């Protein structure tokens, strides 16, 4: 249905998409996820040439979109788009928004077009709003009308560009349920979205875009259940990180505490976990402080907004021991406190780094 | 106007006027009215250096100024003054004549053929007694009938004569909606003499020589005296009349003159006002079927307004297209056009097009007016369109394109309908100012509503009534046209024809 080969796009010197190749079959529902600015929307807009690609090939049902002789407008009639900002025609009533293109482009009679429009509006639950104007509708209603306007052209492909991002949380579900319903009807759909649960439910395949390329793709089960690569994992878990490097045993503990404190409040880490984390850092660094062979230490705090899981990573030079296994009078109390705070721990040593991973208990 | 009013207040001069003027010399520090560009103008400037000199564009304006006390006295020509005093009993002449001038026809520099043929014609009518008969009829007896002039042979070709139509008796004026007067009769006879049809073009006094030099007219048939200065730009015929320059003022300001008793002093204010209005209505509208002049002027004004709006709307679209194009050359051209058109008075553009651009082309001045006003309107319209188009968010255009409309179709079905609705209110305002702006077309010899009232005023010397009437008529035109646009606005706005949910389920 849609074949993309080595697609690239840059705005001036700024490269947005780099070498994307995908093959999408009829009836597939593809969710495109990824951090902001990763080129998701640009990818979608390149497919219907709203943005012209800088290089590569795009074929829709075998038609080369970048060929000068291709009637792009004709192809677009079968491949409609739903926008983040709805883009309903402000001068036309709901019914006229739905009948304009079928009448002008498909040559339908007004009667025929209106019959179809009525049917679609009832389908999306807006049977009462035929003669309203766009500015009289709520955001969710507008987006449902926009979807119906696409359907009125009887397309085979629909591109959704963040269809719920401009909506109030209360209106998101009404739009998503309409899209869910379409997914079951065998339309080929590409959906750029930030709604992870929705993407997992509705799609047959998920693309994770990062830095202008498809970083990882797979079934929703693979991507959401068991992502293969680091960035995907971090994104799926909505992981936030804080990184600090300590050069010697004389590091500034108060400044470090202040950083951790502000990181926690920025990401709304619950107060109890926050206390646990500062206590853990203090106690662990006490152990590390006993020997200069541990320094420099790289400290990373990871917080998953999704699960509330906090983890602490400490990387020290190779050859150093596991500080949690140090024996001694002084460290016994500290070790007891640490053990009490932890859910799990893990020590790995490789050629160049020794890594200690500590998983905090969820209070 | 305001300046003059202010000056009138400053210089009330009641004290000096008590006795009334006995001689011209007493005027040396007073307010004196003259015709703009006339020999009187120059005379007053050199002989009354301390006086305040007010220059008027038409004799009627000057007479009204004297009658309403805006000036203390004015200089004018003897033949016209005699005629004037027959109608206006409250004015009189101060002292003796100042100097005399010779009236003559004026021709293109070097157009000796036409000039000598006029001189031959003049000599012949002086010889056969026609001239004496004409001069007695027009200047002495007050008989204002145009005689029937026998045509000897059918006319071949035309002769375009420029003149000030509202000069006043005895030389040139409009009576019963027809141009009459000594000059008119003489020129009609000259037409028969040379076998050409005379076509009269109405011009302001100040535009006469410019029109002749740019060959808009073949000769000047207006009341114009020979001066060495004018002889540099035109060739004069032999003189056909000798005029005396005289000073006139209200009789009550002249020593020894017996002022008219006020006829309207009886009755209360209301009945005086009503009878005054009725009288003005009678003289300004009914008499001599003057309403026809107004109707014709009204029609010209409406036609010019309508056609220039139409032309300007289309041209504005083209300018807007260039202004929004991606081509740097087109864009800067449109930008320059808009800034020039908005930065220059439309009157200047009008005169430039008439006297320079179409100098050697015989073109209907109404067409020139439509061009000039249309070009001016286009500059404003282009910017209005641009604001309207840019005000529509990009998303709607993208939605149209993503649905499969071409760029042009998107523009037609989605952008245009919204732009039109947005811009109409601003557009209405521009349109009204255009209607009012057309009142300056008198400058290029078009008889519109304003000019019609000028002509009527030149006969009735009524300052108040014709001006108020014209104001009311302009308001009426704007109001009617606004109703029309308002109706248009309603029909294209889908919200006005909103349908309701049908009962079918």
Say if residues A17 and A40 touch (Cβ distance below 8 Å): no
Distances (CA, A) of A214 to A13, B7, B104, B200: 21, 84, 95, 84
Length of chain A in residues, anyone? Answer: 363
At residue B408, the 3 state secondary structure works out as: helix
Residues of A contacting chain B (CB within 8 angstroms): 48, 50, 73-78, 80-81, 83, 85-93, 96, 100-101, 104-105, 128, 130-131, 133, 146, 149-150, 153, 159
Alpha carbon distance A283, B170 (integer Å):
120
What domains lie within chain B, and their CATH numbers? Answer: 5-101+246-263 (3.40.190.10), 106-238 (3.40.190.10), 291-496 (1.10.3720.10)
H and E: helices and strands count for chain A: 12, 15
Q: Between A73, A75, A149, which is nearest B405 by CB?
A: A73
DSSP-assigned states of every residue in B114-136: HHHHHHHHHHHHHHSSHHHHHHI
Q: Between A48, A74, A104, which is nearest B402 by CB?
A: A48
A243 against B460, higher pLDDT: A243
Does the pLDDT of residue A319 top 80, yes or no?
no
Distances (CA, A) of B276 to B260, B281, B460, B462: 17, 9, 13, 11
At residue B360, the 3 state secondary structure works out as: coil
Q: Which residues 6+ apart lie within 8 Å of B275 measured at CB?
A: B264, B267
Q: Which residues 6+ apart lie within 8 Å of A109 measured at CB?
A: A103
Instruction: For residue B426, give how far its alpha carbon lies from the nearest alpha carbon of chain A (Å).
Output: 18
Band of the pLDDT at A209, cuts 50, 70, 90?
very high
**Closest chain A residue to the Cα of B421, Cα to Cα:** A91
Strand partners, B100: B244
In degrees and rounded to multiples of 5, residue A105 shows phi and psi of: -100, -35
Q: What is the dihedral of CA B97, B98, B99, B101, to 10 degrees?
A: -80
Mean pLDDT of A342-355: 83
Strand partners, A312: A301, A358
**Closest chain B residue to the Cα of A119, Cα to Cα:** B505
The predicted pLDDT at position B383 comes to 94
Q: Between B398, B413, B500, which is nearest A104 by CB?
A: B413
Could B421 and A74 be called an inter-chain contact, meaning their C-beta atoms sit closer than 8 Å? no
The predicted pLDDT at position B260 comes to 57
For A15, the token pair is 């490269």
Say if residues B139 and B78 touch (Cβ distance below 8 Å): no
The predicted pLDDT at position B302 comes to 92
Q: Which one, of A260, A275, A270, lies nearest residue A309 by Cα?
A: A270
Instruction: For residue A166, give how far its alpha carbon lies from the nearest alpha carbon of chain B (Å).
Output: 14
- Residues in B closer than 8 angstroms to A136, CB to CB, are none
Handedness of CA A149, A155, A160, A161 (dihedral sign): negative
The predicted pLDDT at position B504 comes to 43
Strand order in the sheet with A205-210: A79-82, A157-161, A188-192, A29-33, A205-210, A213-218
- Residues in B closer than 8 angstroms to A111, CB to CB, are none
Cα Rg of chain A, angstroms? 27
Q: Is the peptide bond before B170 cis (omega within 30 degrees of 0)?
A: yes
The predicted pLDDT at position A25 comes to 92
Q: Which one, of A105, A5, A22, A15, lies nearest residue A65 by Cα?
A: A5
Q: Report chain B (505 residues): mean pLDDT per 10 consecutive residues.
A: 42 49 80 88 88 86 87 90 84 88 91 92 91 88 81 82 86 86 92 90 84 88 89 91 90 74 62 81 78 89 93 95 93 95 92 84 87 95 93 90 92 91 88 91 85 82 84 91 85 71 45
Distances (CA, A) of B316 to A34, A100, A196, B367, B386: 47, 28, 52, 18, 10
């Amino acid at each position: 249905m849609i074949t993309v080969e080595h697609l690239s796009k840059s705005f001036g010197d700024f490269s947005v998409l780099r070498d994307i190749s995908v093959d999408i079959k009829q009836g597939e529902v593809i969710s495109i996820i990824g951090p902001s600015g990763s080129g998701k929307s640009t990818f979608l807009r390149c497919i219907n040439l709203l943005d012209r690609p800088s290089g590569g090939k795009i074929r829709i049902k075998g038609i080369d979109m970048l060929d000068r002789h291709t009637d792009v407008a004709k192809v677009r009639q079968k491949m409609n788009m739903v926008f983040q900002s709805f883009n309903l025609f402000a001068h036309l009533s709901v019914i006229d928004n739905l009948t304009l293109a079928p009448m002008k482009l498909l040559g339908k009679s007004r009667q025929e077009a209106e019959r179809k429009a009525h049917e679609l509006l009832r389908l999306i639950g807006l049977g009462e709003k035929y003669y309203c104007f766009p500015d009289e509708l709520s955001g969710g209603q507008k987006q449902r009308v926009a979807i119906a306007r696409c359907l009125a052209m009887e397309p085979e492909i629909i591109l959704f560009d963040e269809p719920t991002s401009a909506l109030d949380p209360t209106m998101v579900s009404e739009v998503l349920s309409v899209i869910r319903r379409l997914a079951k009807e065998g339309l080929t759909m590409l959906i750029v979205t930030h709604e992870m649960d929705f993407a997992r439910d509705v799609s047959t395949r998920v693309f994770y875009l990062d830095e202008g390329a498809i970083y990882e793709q797979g079934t929703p089960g693979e991507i959401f259940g068991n992502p293969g690569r680091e960035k995907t994992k971090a994104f799926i878990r909505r992981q936030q990180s804080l990184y600090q490097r300590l050069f010697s045993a004389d590091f500034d503990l108060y400044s470090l505490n202040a950083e951790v404190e502000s990181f926690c409040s920025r990401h709304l880490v619950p107060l109890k976990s926050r206390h646990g984390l500062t206590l853990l850092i203090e106690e662990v660094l006490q152990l590390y402080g006993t020997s200069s062979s541990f320094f420099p230490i790289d400290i990373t705090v990871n917080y998953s907004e999704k699960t509330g899981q906090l983890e602490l990573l400490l990387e020290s030079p190779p050859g150093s021991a596991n500080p949690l296994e140090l024996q001694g009078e002084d460290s016994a109390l500290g070790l007891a406190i640490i053990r009490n705070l932890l859910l799990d721990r893990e020590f790995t040593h490789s050629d160049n780094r020794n890594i200690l991973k500590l998983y905090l208990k969820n209070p | 106007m305001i300046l003059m009013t202010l000056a009138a207040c400053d210089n009330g001069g009641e004290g000096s006027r008590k006795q009334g003027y006995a001689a011209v010399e007493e005027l040396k520090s007073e307010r004196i009215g003259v015709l703009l560009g006339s020999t009187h103008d120059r005379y007053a400037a050199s002989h009354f250096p301390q006086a305040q000199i007010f220059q008027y564009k038409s004799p009627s304006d000057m007479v009204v100024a004297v009658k309403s006390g805006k000036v203390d006295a004015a200089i004018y020509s003897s033949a016209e003054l005699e005629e004037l005093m027959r109608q206006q009993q409250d004015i009189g002449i101060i002292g003796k004549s100042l100097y005399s001038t010779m009236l003559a026809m004026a021709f293109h520099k070097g157009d000796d053929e036409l000039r000598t043929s006029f001189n031959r014609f003049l000599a012949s009518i002086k010889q056969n007694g026609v001239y004496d008969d004409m001069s007695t009829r027009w200047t002495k007896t007050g008989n204002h009938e145009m005689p029937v002039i026998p045509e000897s042979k059918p006319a071949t070709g035309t002769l375009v004569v420029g003149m000030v139509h509202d000069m006043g008796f005895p030389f040139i004026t409009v009576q019963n909606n027809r141009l009459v007067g000594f000059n008119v009769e003489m020129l009609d006879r000259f037409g028969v003499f040379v076998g050409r049809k005379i076509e009269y073009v109405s011009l302001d006094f100040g535009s006469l020589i410019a029109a002749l030099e740019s060959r808009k007219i073949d000769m000047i048939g207006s009341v114009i005296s020979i001066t060495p200065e004018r002889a540099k730009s035109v060739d004069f015929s032999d003189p056909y009349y000798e005029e005396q320059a005289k000073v006139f003022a209200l009789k009550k300001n002249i020593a020894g003159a017996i002022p008219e008793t006020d006829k309207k002093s009886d009755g209360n204010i209301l009945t005086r006002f009503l009878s005054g209005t009725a009288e003005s209505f009678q003289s300004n509208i009914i008499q001599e079927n003057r309403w026809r002049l107004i109707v014709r002027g009204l029609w010209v004004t409406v036609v010019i307004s309508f056609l220039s709006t139409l032309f300007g709307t289309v041209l504005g679209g083209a300018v807007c297209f260039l202004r929004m194009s991606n081509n740097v050359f087109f864009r800067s051209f449109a930008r320059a056009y808009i800034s020039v058109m908005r930065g220059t008075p439309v009157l200047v553009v009008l005169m430039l097009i008439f006297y320079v651009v179409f100098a050697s082309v015989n073109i209907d001045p109404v067409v020139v007016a439509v061009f000039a006003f249309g070009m001016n309107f286009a500059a404003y319209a282009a910017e209005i369109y641009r604001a309207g188009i840019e005000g529509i968010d990009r998303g709607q255009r993208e939605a149209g394109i993503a649905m499969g409309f071409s760029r042009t179709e998107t523009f037609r079905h989605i952008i245009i309908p919204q732009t039109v609705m947005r811009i109409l209110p601003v557009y209405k305002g521009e349109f009204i100012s255009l209607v009012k702006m057309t009142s300056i077309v008198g400058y290029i010899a078009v008889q519109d509503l304003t000019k019609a009232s000028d002509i009527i005023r030149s006969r009735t010397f009524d300052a108040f009534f014709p001006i108020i009437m014209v104001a009311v008529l302009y308001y009426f035109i704007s109001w009617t046209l606004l109703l029309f646009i308002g109706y248009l606005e309603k029909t294209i706005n889908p919200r006005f024809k909103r349908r309701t949910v049908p009962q079918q389920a």
